[in-house]
Structure 1
């Protein structure tokens, strides 16, 4: 009976320790999961010097010695920190905006950056406006804060002429059917101009709208056309040429001055 009693107490003590350990993990100081160099959240892999000072995967390639103790950084992975990172989750940074999902602690969460429907979108008029807001609020901001161009409206499935100056870089389009913003962008290259059409919205699965487009440019009787079966969604406009070259390209030989005359049709997929 005595052995049974001790065994029972040992089992209860073991379960208690597990509960305490689990509870302590939820109370971890998030500062302990920051890089000691840049003070940004750590992500896997993490590296350490011989004294155990941790550097993130972004700082580590730039270091030869630990800036805290001058010992070599080397290629030692810090498995203890990596294990903590794998276990630790925090509310999405958009929780104050209504998101209820939890994400792994760190700065590499694609949910927060792209797939959260509460991710902030930037006003496409970035030269004159620094507004950022929810996908649902962006159109109201645009309609109340910016002058609409006479030719900015279009209807899904109907072709329309688009005329824009290459140096303007961007033309904002609004649909008459739904409350959505689309952008036509020009990216100047030495040999010509890339043209992209994007939909301003997060990649959230809850936003089910998908669109395709067809765009063409004619010069001296020759027409260049480009079709995209699924339009790219963007959180904000960038004037850097996209890495993916699924864009229409108009070479300098087919340009007449600095104005592009194009035909565009945006359709619901």
Structure 2
């Protein structure tokens, strides 16, 4: 028995759910890291081997460890979250963990520099160990989430990957050009579903834009909304503007704005009402007839700011 330790019952392994207390972000998934491709680089340019990676990997959640790094009396290390999850019992030797910090490993990690985990997607940054997570949270090469809002789609990737995915898997209409003229028809306008009616992708100025049109409940009132999202980062989205117009019977409703990046979730953009919002009574008035069927024609244009 190790000094100061006592045996405890065997515990199960847990999934990767540890948080990094210093960076206040969730640690990266190691599935993006290729051990055979990268070693760790010291501040003096010394390339280390793959064994260093294993030293810094928590044996329970398999994520890289950040302070405080804990160890048992026998020297086995693990991250803080997993220490709590295994009920203070070492998953390697089953001894009580106590509150021993592995300061040597924490200091060693501080001397290392690592490549961004999005290196394969184009990022060539080499970062200090304790700055890596913060960089990756905002890295412009990180994958985008699928912009389709009609399902709980978990696909991520770069823009070309998402374009192919939208076309092949979601059967989204693809158009070239910077103007659009869409007619939306709904047989029962009193039936409001919290789902996308239509998503159309437009290609212009060498970029892609997602035009959303949908019905949802805003408080007690059903509304219809059209808005544009840019398939790229916010810094690029701000270089463009767009306008939308809907109307009939000598009246029209217009909207002009800047497309939101798909970095912002569909729900976030919709709930912010950052687009053309049409109340149901007005939408039915635009539809004409006996108000028993919704017929809206939405026109618009995208342009690049000088």
- Alignment map for 1:146-161 (pairs within 5 Å): 149=173, 153=175, 155-156=177-178, 158=179, 160-161=181-182
User: Aligned pair 1:174/2:202, yes or no?
Assistant: yes
Aligned CA distance change for structure 1 residues 25 and 172 (closer, same or farther; 3 Å): same
Aligned CA distance change for structure 1 residues 133 and 47 (closer, same or farther; 3 Å): closer
User: Aligned pair 1:268/2:289, yes or no?
Assistant: no
Instruction: Please report the RMSD computed on the Cα atoms of aligned residues, expressed in angstroms.
Output: 5.1
User: Aligned pair 1:199/2:230, yes or no?
Assistant: yes
- Partner in structure 2 of residue 40 of structure 1: 63
Tell which has more relative contact order, 1 or 2 (C-alpha 8 A, sep 6+).
1
Aligned to 1:29, the other structure's residue is in SS state helix
User: Aligned pair 1:163/2:192, yes or no?
Assistant: no
**Residue from 101, 123, 126 that aligns with 1:102:** 126
User: Aligned pair 1:31/2:54, yes or no?
Assistant: yes
Residue 115 of structure 1, CA deviation: 0.3
- Partner in structure 2 of residue 245 of structure 1: 272
Give structure 2 stretches of 5+ with no counterpart.
1-41, 187-191, 285-292
User: Aligned pair 1:91/2:118, yes or no?
Assistant: no
d(CA) in 1 for partners of 2:69, 2:296: 51
- Partner in structure 1 of residue 240 of structure 2: 211
Aligned to 2:133, the other structure's residue is in SS state coil
d(CA) in 2 for partners of 1:21, 1:224: 60
Aligned CA distance change for structure 1 residues 181 and 138 (closer, same or farther; 3 Å): farther
- The TM-score with structure 2 as length reference comes to 0.51
- The TM-score with structure 1 as length reference comes to 0.56
Aligned CA distance change for structure 1 residues 233 and 72 (closer, same or farther; 3 Å): farther
d(CA) in 1 for partners of 2:104, 2:139: 29
- Partner in structure 1 of residue 36 of structure 2: none
Aligned to 1:108, the other structure's residue is in SS state helix
Equivalenced residues, count:
237
Q: Is the 8 A contact 1:185 1:197 kept in 2?
A: no
d(CA) in 1 for partners of 2:202, 2:297: 19
Encode CA deviations 1:171-222: one digit per residue, 9 max, x unaligned.
122225535242426473452456542112256x7x6883223345559987
d(CA) in 1 for partners of 2:215, 2:68: 38
- Partner in structure 2 of residue 9 of structure 1: none
